[in-house]
Amino acid sequence: MSAYPTGDPLARRRFLTAAALRGATVIGTGVIGATALGAVDADAAFAEPLRALDPAAADSTFVEGRITWIDGGLLEVAGSWGEYARVRVTGATSVWKVRATTAAAIETGDGLYARGVPMPDGTLAADAVWVNIVNLHTTLRGIEKDRLHLAHGSHEIVGHVLADTTSVSYSGAAPTVDLSRLRIGQDAQVLGAWRPSDDSVELVRVAVGPGAGHRR
């Protein structure tokens, strides 16, 4: 089981950054809200976890990996380090996959990053699940109407522009759907969702300008 206790956010972020390149987020994503374990929007995946004020309440735990099998609300997850986990998704679980969605959108082969509480039977009762979420430091190599060509280290990535979703933040300003000010060679921090079928990324938010491209 690949699980991170709440006190290891750096390891979690490293996983999220690298996920797209193993064959595996920020714009206002439209996912607003919070639970006793923390917020559920895309940015919350990278935030410092909250600790319960009630000492009787269990700390949250994080699980990551690829979904190998789905049986109703139970997900079998193969972790990146050879471990396995079982994640239980219910009607109360918040699900993000490019946008807020339902458990029906989760597919075998997807990457999973889940937050929840360990149960006595060894499963993780998921409070929030982020499917295929990635947060990458990239450089713009090409700009087309419906896609961006990105370099992440030595990896070339195609980023798909989603007409109803993709936005850009210029130098920390409020996100806009206007992509016209993007320039080749700019550093860009990209939050999006990995697409397993072709190893590309669906773009949710692109941040450029001073301070962009250095988030971990």
> How many Å separate Cα 3 from the centre of its chain?
16
Given a cut of 50, whether residue 17 has pLDDT beyond it is yes
Q: Phi and psi for 116 in degrees, rounded to 5?
A: -175, -160
**Average pLDDT in the 97-115 region?**
93
Structure letter (DSSP) for residue 59: P
| Residue 57 binned pLDDT confidence (cut-offs 50, 70, 90) | low
Inter-CA distances, 30 with 27, 98, 142, 191, Å: 9, 10, 28, 14
**What percentage of the chain exceeds 90 in pLDDT?**
54
Q: Enumerate the β-bridge partners of residue 129.
A: 95, 114
pLDDT digits (tens, 9 = 90+) for 114-127: 999 999 999 999 99
Please report the sign of the dihedral spanned by the C-alpha atoms of residue 173, residue 115, residue 18, residue 99: negative
Q: pLDDT at residue 18 above 60?
A: no
**Is the pTM of the predicted complex or chain greater than 0.85?**
no
Is residue 11 very low, low, confident or very high in pLDDT (cuts 50, 70, 90)? Answer: low
Residue 190 has pLDDT above 80, yes or no: yes
Q: Which two tokens stand for residue 141?
A: 């190599």
The pair phi, psi for residue 117, each rounded to 5°, is -125, 130
Mean pLDDT of the chain: 81
